Structure 1
Amino acid sequence: MTPETAGQGLVDRVPAGAVGSLIGMQTPPTANRHDTVREHHGDAVVDPYAWLENAENSETIDYLKAENAYTESMTEHLKPLRESIFDEIKRRTQETDLSVPVRKGDWWTYNRTMEGKQYPIHCRVKANGDTPPELSENGSPLPGEEIVLDQNVLAEGHDFFSLGVYDFSVDGNVLAYGVDFAGNERFTLRFRDLRTGDDLSDSVLGVFYGGAWSADGEYFFYSTVDDAWRPHQVWRHRLGSSEDDVLVFEETDERFWCGVELSRSEKYLFCESHSKITSEVRFLAADDPTGEFVLFGHGRRTGIELSIDHQGDRFIVLHNEDAPNFVLGYTPVTDTTAFTELVPHRDDTRLESVAAFDGYLAVSLRRNGLTGIRIVDNAGAGHDLAFDEVLYSVSPMFGPEYHATSLRLSYQSMVSPDSVYDYDIAGRELLLRKQKAVLGGYDPAAYQQHRLWATASDGTQVPISIVARADVAADGSAPCLLYGYGSYETSIDPYFSIPRLSLLDRGVVYAIAHVRGGGEMGRHWYEDGKLLNKKNTFTDFVSCADHMVESGWSAPDKLVARGGSAGGLLMGAVANLAPSRFAGICAQVPFVDSLNTILDPTKPLTVIEWDEWGDPLHDADVYAYMKSYAPYENVADVAYPPILSVTSLNDTRVGFHEPAKWTARLRHDAQGGPFLLKTEMEAGHGGRSGRYDAWHEEAFNLAWTLDLYGLRE
C-alpha cells in the first residue's frame, strides 16, 4: 500500500440492525493483498498481509496512520463522551497523594504523585522508630522528605517514559535505575549517588528489568536480552570502574530466560533460569560478589519448578516435585539437596510464592478461586488470614525489611478500594494504614458483587466474578462487559477500578470470566487450558457469556467482550467461535496472529512460548491444532460484531502487525463490523505511559463500549 491508496478500498458490510452508531461512517483503508506462501507439514499457508510485519517500511507506517485516521473519524461522535469519562476518572482520583512508606534500612521510602504530573516522584525520609510516618489527607510531602527520583523530570521531552530497575544499594547510598523512552522495554541503566543527588558517569545500555547489589555496594548485577527479547545473560558491573562488565552467566537454551536478585536477608545473590515448566537456581554469598555461583539442589530437571529464599542457616524452598500445587520446605545452606517439608501439598490449595523474614514466612496461596495468605513460624506451625467479603484479592507486599515483625499486605475487592494493611504477626491483628481515596462521595454499599458459576461444555464449573450498581436487577435488561484472559497460569482476581465506575454508574454490569488457562483454581486449571487443551479457554468464555444471559445479568445484544495480550487471542478466538453471542469485542494488544508468530523462532519470545502453546514448527499435531483456533487463520464469511483492536508500534511482546493483519483480513473476508484499529505510535505493550495519557486511552475504550449499548452521555 502507498500513501496515495490509503483510504481506498472496500466499505465495511454492516448488517441491518447492527449494534453501534454508524453516523459519519467513512471508507476504511484497505491493506493490499500480497500473498506470501509458507510451507509447514505439507500445508501451504497463504498469508496475504505479511508485509504489514515490517515496521521499517514507510508503507506500513502510512497504513497504520490511515487506520488511526479512520478510527478517529468513526468515533468522532464519541468525543464528548470520552471527555466526560476522562473527567469522571480525574474527579474521582486524589491526584496529589502518597503511598504508604516502606522501611528500607535507615529510611522510609514511598512514592508521591502531584496534581498535573504524569508520573510518580520517589522519596524517602529518615527512620525514627519502627512506626511509619503519619500521612496527611491531602498528600502533602512528609517532613524531612528527600526526593530520590522524579520520573517527571526524567520524562521531559519524551512522548513515552518507563522506569525499569529501581534498586537501592544495601547501605542506601546509591540508587540503580533504568529508563526506557520508546516502550520496547530495553532500559538504560544509571546510578545516582543519593548523598549528592548526582548521577554517576556509569551507564549501561540494553538492560532488562531487575537486578541486585552486592553487600558492599561496589557491584551491581543485571540482565540483558537477546534479539528474540529473551533475558539470556547476567552481568556484573563494578561501580565507577572503566573495566568491561563481566558476564557471570549465560542461558544458552532458548526455552529459558534468566535473571538475578538479592535475598531479603541481603546475604545471598540468586541467579535464576526459568522456562514455562522448569526452573534452576544458583546462589552466591552477597559479600563475595566476584566468586562463582553455586548450583542449588539437583539442578535442572524437566518439569520441576522451584523458587528459593534465605532465612538464617537455611534456604526456604517452594517446589512442585510430585506436588502439582507445590509444597513448601527448606534445605540447609550447607546441603541444598536435603529437603525438609514445612507445608504439605494439598489438592485444593495452590501455593504460589513465599517470602522469608527473620521470624516467619509469608505464603501467598489460592483456594476455590480466591487468594489467601498463610503465616508460617520458623518451626512450621501456621495460620491463614481471614476476610469477610464474598469476593476479594489479598497479597503480601513483601517489603524489603528482613527483620520486620509485621507483614505489609494489599487488599481490595470489586467494591472495596485498594487498601494497605500491616498484619501484626504476634498479635494476629490487622492495622489499616491507608485505603485508596475515591473522591466524590463513593459508597461501597451502592454496589453489589457476586460469584457465579458457569457450566462449561465438558461439565466443568467455571467461576465468574461480577459487580454492578446495587439497584441493577438480574432481569436481562442490563448491558454487560465480560473480561477474560486465560493463559500462563495468570489469574485475573477481583479488583477495584476507578475507571470502571464510569460503566457501573451508567448501569453496566462488569464481569470477569475466570477461564481455564489461568491459575484461579490451581495448577490443573492452567494445565487444562494450555497446549492441546487450549480450546477449553475459548469454550469456557462462551459458556460464561451464555451463563450471564441465562442468569439474567445481560442479554446477547448487550454483552461486550474484552481482553488483552493473550486475552486478545481469546477475543479473536471467540469472535470466530461465537460471533453472534457478542454485541462487540474490544481486543487490546491482541495475540491474534498466533500461529505465524509461534512458527517463527526468530520472533521475540517464540521459542520460550513453545512450552505454553506447543511447537507447531516441529510437531504436525500441534500445528494442526493451533491452525484450527488461531484467530487470523479462521476469519469466516459470516457476520461479526463491531471489533476494536488497540495496539502499540513498539510492543515487543505482541507485535503491532498482529491486530493490523487481523483487522485487514476481517475487512476483506468477514461481514459485519465495523472493524477498527487504533495504534499508539509512541508506546509499548502497556500502552501510553503517563497516568493522564492512560486515562485518555481508557476513556476511549470505555466510550466505544458504551456506544454499543446506546449509552452516549
Structure 2
Amino acid sequence: MRKMLLAGVAFTVAASAAAQMPAPPRPAKKPHQVTSPNGTRTDEYYWLRDDTRKNPEMLAYLNAENGYTDAALASLKPLQDRLYQETVSHIKQDDSSVPYRKNGYWYQTRFETGANYPIIERRKGEKTAPAEILFDQPAMAKDRSFFALSDWQVSPDNRLVAYAEDTVGRRQYTLKVKDLATGQLLSDTITNAEPNIVWAGDNRTILYVAKDPTTLRGYKVMAHVLGTPVAQDRLLYEEKDDTFQMGIGRTTDDRFICVFVQSTVSNEQRCAAAATAPASFQTIAPRKRDLRYSADHMDGRWIIRTNLNHKNYTLMTVADDAVAGGPAAWKALTPASDTVFIEDFKPFAGFIAINQREGGNRMIRLLDAAGTSIPVKADEPAYRMTLDVNEEPDTPWVRYTYGSLVTPTTTYEVNAKTGERRVLKVAPVPGYDPANYVTERVWATARDGTKIPVSLVYKKGVKRDGTAPLFQYAYGSYGSSTDPSVDPGRIGLLDRGVVYAIAHIRGGQEMGRQWYDDGHLLNKKNSFTDFIDVTRYLVAQKYAAKDRVATMGGSAGGLLMGAVANMAPEDYKVIVAQVPFVDVVTTMLDASIPLTTFEYDEWGNPAQKQYYDYMLSYSPYDQVAAKNYPSMYVGTGLWDSQVQYYEPAKWVARLREKKTDSNPLLFRVNMEAGHGGKSGRFERYRQNAEWGAFVLQQLGAAE
C-alpha cells in the first residue's frame, strides 16, 4: 500500500500491478451509524457526504477517481474521438425549429454551426419579417462552465420577457426580466426559484415559485411587481405538505392562472382570473388520496383529465357555474378503458386532441364536439406521437411530432375537420438512411407470465444467430414511459452491429396505470426482474450473445442498473449507470435531501417497517456483496440536486472493496455539473462518447 497526495490531502491506494496503470483509489473507511425507527446500519463511507462540497478529503477522492478513469480510458481516446465525430456528423449544426405563432409573433429556435446553445428569436406578423433576438444563448453562456436557460415567458403586451437561468447545475434558478425593445435587463432579480414563470394580465406582475433553501422544494407561489424590492413580494399560496410538488401556469384560453400541487397519488388545482394579479384562488376539487386530476379551460367550460372513474383516466367536463360542486358535478367526455391510457390532452375551439397509450405505443386521437374519436394513423410497429406546440387554439390544425427508432422526428399538422395531414419538417440526420435499419416490437415473457413490450432496432444484415452484441436500456420508475426515437449518438453503435433494445418494464406507464402500480412501492422488484427477463428472452431468441450484453440506465434507471448488477451480474458484460440512485434507504430516511418527501409514495417511507425491510432488500448500496460483477462505468455530477453525488461515490467505494473480479470499475465525476451532466448540445455527445467507447471495447465491437 502507498499514500497518494492530491490537493494536499492523503488517502490510500493499492499498489498497481501494471506500471503504466494506476490502481483505483481506496477512500478511507470511517464507520458511521445510520439510525432509523426500524434498525441501525453501518455506513463506512458516509463521510463522503459534504453538503457544502468543500471538504478537501472528499474532493481529493473524487479527483483521484477522475484521474484513474482518465488513465484507464487513455488507450480508448482515439475511439472516443471517432465516436464523437461520427455523432456530430449526423447533426445538422445550423438547424432551426418549426416556427409557431403566439399573440401576433412567430417564435423560433435556431443553432449556428459549432454552437453549443441556440438563439431564440421571434418575428412580428409574418414568418418572413425581420428577426428579433430574445436570447443569444451562445453569448449568455460564454466563459461559463455550466449554463441552462429554462422557462421564459413574454408579457401579454409583448414588451418584456421573464426568464430563468441556472449557471451551476444545481437547479436553483435565478429569474430575470429583459426589455425587448432595448435589450436591457431590468433591476428585478429573484434567486432560488423554480423555472416556472407566469405573467399576470397587468404586464407588471410576475408569479413564480420560491424554493426552500435546504430541501429545494418549490413551496410558495409569490407575486413580484416589477421595480419593487423582492423582499416585498406578496405570498399568494404556500404548500405546507412537504410530500407535494408545485407548479403554476395559464389555461389554454388564457383566462385563468392556476396553481398545481401534486403528489404521486393525489393533487389539487386552484385557479384565478388572469386579467389582473390574483389575490386568491378557487379550488377545482379538494385534494383526496388516490384522486388525481388536471383541468384546462376552453369554450366556457373546464375539461378535466382524471382517474375518478378509472385508473387509466377519462376526460370529464364541468361548466363554469358548476365548478364549485366538485367531482360530483363533472360529466364524462370519454369512456373508461382497460387498454387505453389517457396521458395528456389539449383543448381547441370545438374539439380536443388526446395523447394516449395503447399496446405500448403513444398515439393521438381527436375528439369532436359530437363525441366522435378520430385516430391519427401510424405505419410502424413501435413509434411515438406527441402533441407539439399548439399555442393558439382557434384553429382546426393540430401540430404533433412522430418518430420511431428508425424514423427521424417528423413534425406534422393534421386538420381535425378534414383529416388532411401535412409535413412541416423532418428532423435532418445527415449521413443516415432509415432504409438501412430495422425496427421491431417484441414481447418478452416475465417470470410471472406478464408480457413485456420491447422496442428493437438494428442494422439490416445483422444476423439473428446469437452472436450479436446487445445494448439494452430502460428507466421504469415514476410512471415515466420511454418512447422510441432516432438518436445521432446511437447510430455509431448500430453501424458496428449492436442491437439496441428499449425494455418497457413495469414502473413506467407504457401499458397503463396498472403497469406503474405493478412496478413501484412493494412491487418495485418487478422492474428489476422484468429487465433481467427481457435480457434473457433476447438472448434465448438469438438477438444477442449471452456474453455480449451491455446495459445503461440513469437516475432511477441507475437504481435499476445497481439492482440488476447485484441480482444477475452474470447476465451482463458491461453496465453504465449515470447519476444512479443507489442508496435508497439512507436517502429516503433523510427529509432534508431534495425530492425525499415527494417520493414516499414512489418508494415507500422507511420509517414504516414493511417499506424499510423491502427497500433494504434491493437497495444497491446495501446489497453489494463479495462476488463477481460486470465491467462498470458510473457517472455523476458534483452539483446534482436530484441524486446527490455521494450516493454513487459511496457505491463505487463499496463495490471496489467487496467485488471479487478484476473487471474495470470506472467512476467519472463532472465537477462542474449537476443531474443532467455538462450543459451544451455537443458536450452531452462528448461525454457519451467516453462511455460509448468503453462499452464497445468491452463488447468486442469497437470496429
Task: State the TM bucket, normalised to the shorter chain.
Answer: over 0.9
Q: Matches of residues 222-621 of structure 1 in structure 2 within 5 Å?
A: 222-226=208-212, 227-242=214-229, 244-297=232-285, 299-336=286-323, 337=326, 338-440=329-431, 442-617=432-607, 619-621=608-610
Contact 1:560 1:584 in 2 (8 A): yes
Could you tell me how far apart the structure 2 residues matched to 1:317 and 1:289 are?
Answer: 25
Contact 1:2 1:59 in 2 (8 A): no
SS at match of 1:421: strand
SS at match of 1:97: coil
- CA offset digits 1:209-236 (Å, max 9, x no partner): 2221112322111102212121111111
The CA deviation at 1:576 is 0.1
The CA deviation at 1:424 is 1.5
Contact 2:236 2:279 in 1 (8 A): no
Could you tell me how far apart the structure 1 residues matched to 2:287 and 2:207 are?
Answer: 22
Could you tell me how far apart the structure 1 residues matched to 2:14 and 2:353 are?
Answer: 59
The answer to whether the aligner puts 1:86 opposite 2:84 as a matched pair is yes
CA distance 1:650–1:76, shift in 2 (3 Å)? same
2:34 to 19, 33, 38: 38
Could you tell me how far apart the structure 2 residues matched to 1:557 and 1:44 are?
Answer: 39
Cα RMSD, aligned residues only: 1.6
The answer to whether the aligner puts 1:49 opposite 2:41 as a matched pair is no
Aligned residue number for residue 13 of structure 2: 9
Aligned residue number for residue 146 of structure 2: 160
Partner AA of 1:176 in structure 2: A
Contact 2:175 2:189 in 1 (8 A): yes
The CA deviation at 1:270 is 0.6
SS at match of 2:175: strand
SS at match of 2:602: helix
Could you tell me how far apart the structure 2 residues matched to 1:247 and 1:690 are?
Answer: 35
The answer to whether the aligner puts 1:150 opposite 2:146 as a matched pair is no
Aligned residue number for residue 136 of structure 1: none
The answer to whether the aligner puts 1:669 opposite 2:658 as a matched pair is yes
SS at match of 1:557: coil
Q: Which runs of 4+ in 1 moved over 3 A?
A: 1-8, 10-13, 22-25
1:76 to 59, 74, 77: 74
Contact 1:265 1:402 in 2 (8 A): yes
Could you tell me how far apart the structure 2 residues matched to 1:325 and 1:542 are?
Answer: 27
SS at match of 2:133: strand
- In structure 2, list runs of 5 or more residues that go unmatched: none
Could you tell me how far apart the structure 2 residues matched to 1:329 and 1:398 are?
Answer: 23
The CA deviation at 1:63 is 0.6
The CA deviation at 1:38 is 2.1
Partner AA of 1:658 in structure 2: E
- CA offset digits 1:537-566 (Å, max 9, x no partner): 000000001011001111121001100000
SS at match of 2:182: coil
Contact 1:119 1:151 in 2 (8 A): yes
CA distance 1:501–1:12, shift in 2 (3 Å)? farther
Partner AA of 1:438 in structure 2: V
The answer to whether the aligner puts 1:653 opposite 2:642 as a matched pair is yes
Stretch of structure 1 that moved more, 77-86 or 399-408 = 399-408
Partner AA of 1:377 in structure 2: D
Contact 1:7 1:27 in 2 (8 A): no
Could you tell me how far apart the structure 1 residues matched to 2:5 and 2:598 are?
Answer: 36
Contact 2:9 2:56 in 1 (8 A): no
Could you tell me how far apart the structure 1 residues matched to 2:194 and 2:5 are?
Answer: 37
Aligned residue number for residue 23 of structure 2: 27
The CA deviation at 1:693 is 1.2
SS at match of 1:209: strand
Name the % identity: 38
Aligned residue number for residue 622 of structure 1: 611
Aligned residue number for residue 205 of structure 2: 219
Aligned residue number for residue 694 of structure 1: 684
Partner AA of 1:638 in structure 2: K
The CA deviation at 1:41 is 4.1
Could you tell me how far apart the structure 1 residues matched to 2:508 and 2:440 are?
Answer: 20
The CA deviation at 1:378 is 3.1
Partner AA of 1:106 in structure 2: G
SS at match of 1:556: coil
Partner AA of 1:300 in structure 2: R
SS at match of 1:153: helix
Partner AA of 1:158 in structure 2: R
Aligned residue number for residue 104 of structure 2: 106
Partner AA of 1:38 in structure 2: V
- CA offset digits 1:485-511 (Å, max 9, x no partner): 110000011111111001000111110
Partner AA of 1:179 in structure 2: E
SS at match of 1:60: helix
The CA deviation at 1:6 is 5.7
SS at match of 2:489: coil
Could you tell me how far apart the structure 1 residues matched to 2:210 and 2:78 are?
Answer: 45
Aligned residue number for residue 126 of structure 1: 124
- CA offset digits 1:72-130 (Å, max 9, x no partner): 100001100011011111111110111000111111101010112110100111223xx
SS at match of 2:672: coil
Could you tell me how far apart the structure 2 residues matched to 1:667 and 1:12 are?
Answer: 14
Stretch of structure 1 that moved more, 572-581 or 592-601 = 592-601
CA distance 1:6–1:345, shift in 2 (3 Å)? farther
Aligned residue number for residue 97 of structure 1: 95
The CA deviation at 1:595 is 1.3
SS at match of 1:343: coil
Aligned residue number for residue 139 of structure 1: none
Contact 1:278 1:305 in 2 (8 A): yes
The CA deviation at 1:427 is 1.6
1:641 to 614, 623, 630: 630
Contact 2:547 2:572 in 1 (8 A): yes
The CA deviation at 1:457 is 1.1
The answer to whether the aligner puts 1:703 opposite 2:693 as a matched pair is yes
Contact 2:359 2:511 in 1 (8 A): yes
- CA offset digits 1:569-597 (Å, max 9, x no partner): 00000000000000010000000111110
SS at match of 1:375: strand
Could you tell me how far apart the structure 1 residues matched to 2:381 and 2:278 are?
Answer: 51
SS at match of 1:317: strand
Contact 1:462 1:515 in 2 (8 A): yes
SS at match of 1:598: helix
Could you tell me how far apart the structure 2 residues matched to 1:711 and 1:448 are?
Answer: 19
SS at match of 1:118: coil
Stretch of structure 1 that moved more, 2-11 or 418-427 = 2-11
- CA offset digits 1:225-250 (Å, max 9, x no partner): 21212111111111233471111011
The CA deviation at 1:200 is 1.5
Could you tell me how far apart the structure 2 residues matched to 1:78 and 1:30 are?
Answer: 24
Could you tell me how far apart the structure 1 residues matched to 2:450 and 2:132 are?
Answer: 54
